[in-house]
Homo-oligomer: A and B are copies of this chain.
Amino acid sequence: MTLQHYIDEYLPAIETELQHIIGTTKTEHYHGLHEMLAYAMGWKGEGAGPRARGKRVRPLLVLLTNASAGGSWEKALPAAAAVELVHNFSLIHDDIEDNSPLRRGRPTVWKLWGIAQAINTGDTMFTLAQQAVTLLKATTTPTITLEATQLIQQTCLHLTQGQFLDISYEDRADLVIEDYWPMVRGKTAALLATSTELGALVANVDSETRNAYHNFGCNLGLAFQAQDDYLGIWGDTEITGKSVASDLVECKKSLPVLYGLGKNGAFAERWRSGPITQEEVPEIAHQLELEGGRAFTKSEAERLTARALQDLEDADPQGDAGDALSELANKLLKRDV
């Protein structure tokens, strides 16, 4: 079986589990709340469908890891749902915090229903995520359920810590490369590390294997983000051919930008003097490249990709599911940087 076979098998089960959990809110008085949750999940409202749902990478990682570690994937479904709900909760709140009008091609929850309802809908999604993981009680032991619950909680703490840094950085002109890692570890890597670790935990593997799966998810997240940050400046024209809004225009505190700020050269001077326009992008991207930002980001992405793949080898994923997990990792990581 290839990765696509697993995706075709797992995705409908993931959606069913998510719909079951979110369906518990569809009670008297609260239909409006359920509607916002279903919109955020990509099931309802204008533009509902596959693109609005996103790729469900995190729950797929939970199930594939679980199967690769010798588990019965159905038993890990509550954990798979939990990580996806945590992800979607954080998107609802991040979109308010970042003032983003669009998400996956649709208006964000706060744009449609206002900030007050959006904050509260995010809180509801957060609660449902916490509830989801305790459903493991029915498929595993109380001890594994409690461990998984605490793992999700610790991850939520890391997410908010990463987000705290991201927001704080907006007002700071003194950022350096060292400021990048704690932010991206919290915002991106923590939930991916927990996704792969949860799969292993529910499969009840030894602590060494569980640790290897955790590290795999963590480095997968870091590598993916480093790549994404590279493509956010140098990827649009060369690879995709699309003219996307550059991270430079959006003032994103990405890996190459923090590298450049730490260099304190012409790039840093221009960055600190105010917003960058679309017209300036080629020149400023070139300046950042001259200062070493492009080569540095590329080498970091490669270094982290190699580490993630080594971690996966250490985890020693088994069978067809193991092959599919490697295929997914390579698919996520082997974009041409």
A residues adjacent to B (C-beta < 8 A): 25, 28-30, 32-33, 93, 96-98, 114-117, 119-124, 126-128, 130-131, 134, 137, 142-143, 145-146, 149-150, 153-154, 156-157, 159-161, 163-165, 167-168, 182
CB distance from A337 to the nearest CB of B (A): 27
Most buried by B among A30, A32, A121: A30
- State whether A157 touches B124 (Cβ < 8 A): yes
The contact sample of 14 A-B pairs, CB cut-off 8 A, is A93-B123, A114-B167, A117-B167, A120-B160, A121-B160, A121-B164, A123-B156, A123-B163, A126-B156, A127-B157, A127-B160, A130-B149, A131-B153, A134-B146
With the chains together, A121 CA to B167 CA distance in Å? 11
- State whether B126 touches A123 (Cβ < 8 A): yes
- State whether B130 touches A156 (Cβ < 8 A): yes
With the chains together, A163 CA to B30 CA distance in Å? 11
With the chains together, A145 CA to B143 CA distance in Å? 10
CB distance from A156 to the nearest CB of B (A): 4
- State whether B146 touches A131 (Cβ < 8 A): no
Chain B residues near A98 (CB-CB < 8 A): 116
- State whether A156 touches B127 (Cβ < 8 A): yes
- State whether A161 touches B25 (Cβ < 8 A): yes
Instruction: Identify the closest chain B residue to A160 (Cβ).
Output: B124
Chain B residues near A115 (CB-CB < 8 A): 96-97, 115
The 9 closest A-B pairs by CB, nearest first: A97-B116, A124-B160, A127-B156, A33-B164, A142-B142, A131-B153, A29-B182, A123-B160, A116-B167
